[in-house]
Amino acid sequence: MDIPTINLLNLTLGGFNVSDIATGALILMMTTMGLTLKLSDFSRIMTQPQPVITGLLIQLLALPAIAFLLIAVYDPAFPIAIGMIILACCPSAATSNFFTHIAKGDVALSVTMTAISGIIVVFTTPLFINLGFMNLTGEGQTIYLPLLPSMLQILKLIILPVAVGMTLRHFASSLAQKIEPYATKLSFASILLVMAILFSEVYPSLDIIIELALAPVLTLNIVMMVLGVTIAKVLKLNTQQARSICVEIGIQNYVLAVVIAIAILKQPEFAIAAIVYLFTMYVCVFAFIAYCRFQDMTMNKTVRN
């Protein structure tokens, strides 16, 4: 089955290209996240090393590895396969902290993982994506990410906005606290705008896209969330920590994946996996939250009895 044409490179809204809109949404989202972070969030890896390191290793190493494994199992079309690798290399943003709170997980652990992974992916993302290109197309591949320019671009998209937000919080705490709720709402609105634009563009080919990408993408989502909880339990982390790791792995930064596909690589079909994932991840995380609530209710009844 042929990959449908996705005209994201030339798609505009109000005179702005969709890649610029997605890039702006990502920068706004990361700046807003910076407004909620403190330097102590990064130091938690020293005071609580086991849950932080466990979560980061699963997120930054196991997730790409599982993506490569599922590509071998499902053998999807090349753009879907590369899109899955890109997606697996884009760890969660601030929305995972919100869902961790709803799931009654360890929010401090979630924030720490989000903050630290945002730094590490500057280096790991280009490496894993190029490894994907090499494995799927051979050594003579014509598409690749130039390592240093890509690292610098991802740094500008992730690290600098977060640093701006953290600096504002540190030196103008009262101002940061005042604008953070509005920035959060604006950030969420920008994410919804990107979702709406992407959905409107792929809607005519939605049945084909679902047939091509739903199974491997959904499997990636479910396998990683289950693996996260399982490893956490095997290592005897507490329930709240296990929930945090599960949500962190289940909520990938799909906006970053879209930006890499259409703004950096200029290959809009590589965004198909991220577009499908942006719907499956909410189904999976809400199902997990429902499970957590059921688990809590059962435990409360047992305690009362």
3-state DSSP assignment of residue 119: helix
Distance CA 35, CA 170 (A): 9
Task: Return the DSSP state at 4.
Answer: P
- List the single range of 11-15, 101-105, 110-114, 144-148 with lowest mean pLDDT: 11-15
Which residue, among 15, 5, 87, 64, has the nearest Cα to 267 in the 3D structure? Answer: 5
> Which residues have C-beta within 8 Å of that of residue 108, sequence separation ≥ 6?
41, 44
Cα diameter, the chain: 67
Over 70: is that where the pLDDT of 25 sits?
yes
Distance CA 173, CA 36 (A): 10
At 274, phi and psi to the nearest 5? -65, -35
pLDDT of residue 138: 61
**C-beta separation of 89 from 14 below 8 A:** no
Q: Identify the residue with better confidence: 97 or 272.
A: 272
How far, CA to CA in Å, does 260 sit from each of 22, 145, 177, 266, 305?
Answer: 10, 10, 31, 8, 53
**C-beta separation of 27 from 161 below 8 A:** yes
Residue 5 pLDDT level (bands cut at 50, 70, 90)? low
Give the model confidence (pLDDT) of 47-60 as tens digits: 878 999 999 999 99
**What does the pLDDT average to over 274-281?**
88
Distance CA 270, CA 266 (A): 9
